[in-house]
Amino acid sequence: MVFTVAIDGPAAAGKGTIGRAVAAHFGFAHLDTGLLYRAVGAKGGDPVAAAEALSPGDLLRDDLRSLGAGQAASRVAVIPEVRAALLAFQRRFARQDGGAVLDGRDIGTVICPDAEVKLFVTASAEVRAHRRWLEVGGDEAQVLAEVRERDARDTGRADAPLKPAPDALLLDTTDLSIDAAVNKAIKAVETGIRQGRA
Ligand code: DC
């Protein structure tokens, strides 16, 4: 069975948690596509060459979750050749047998415009910054400034900017618990499967 769930949204909106939970519930494979850009940013040197040579081992570095790695990822993600180098791998992952969940910024719009289910997970910048601050600590105002900076770069870039696909289900987690958002996401996938899109 080929079945793709595309989850997009800004940093720290909860899309990773929702993606992992949906994948576990249905036994689908899961790819956090942000890790690809984080690994390219962390490699240093020429980002296009780094993206073209990216290997699974590069995704295992333990420094990819830091705020600095997120900023570096957002910077290399504006380069069209970097995005192009990562496209085929993501599409193959999405159409593998057994179902797949991908989360990122452009999954429903560019990578998998034909995904059977599309979700756009968002929340206010303040709530997202607070969640990220609980994970990483430090100065909360600084975390909020970095979230805003990354939002501006990810939504403002010319190539594959962050935006909801027209047919995406919007999940705003500002006032919705992650458990409630996971339940809504699971319902949307069940509906997609029932409607014979699998
Ligand atoms: O989801 P994340 O915070 O790990 O993503 C890090 C950066 O990578 C994000 O700020 C923009 C970029 N990114 C992207 O451009 N497209 C994706 N599909 C995923 C991430």
pLDDT in tens, 3-31: 999 999 999 999 999 999 999 999 999 99
Indicate the pairing of strand 100-104 with strand 117-122.
Answer: unpaired
Provide the 8-state DSSP code for 107: I
For the record, the structure tokens of 197 come out as 């899109």
| pLDDT value of position 118 | 98
For the record, the structure tokens of 30 come out as 């899961």
Is the CB–ligand 1 distance for residue 132 below 6 Å?
no
Q: Whose CA is nearest to atom 2 of ligand 1?
A: 34
**Placement of tokens 């504006």 in the chain:** 78
Residue 197 pLDDT > 60:
no
Q: Whose CA is nearest to atom 10 of ligand 1?
A: 74
Is the CB–ligand 1 distance for residue 34 below 6 Å?
yes
pTM for the model stands at 0.96
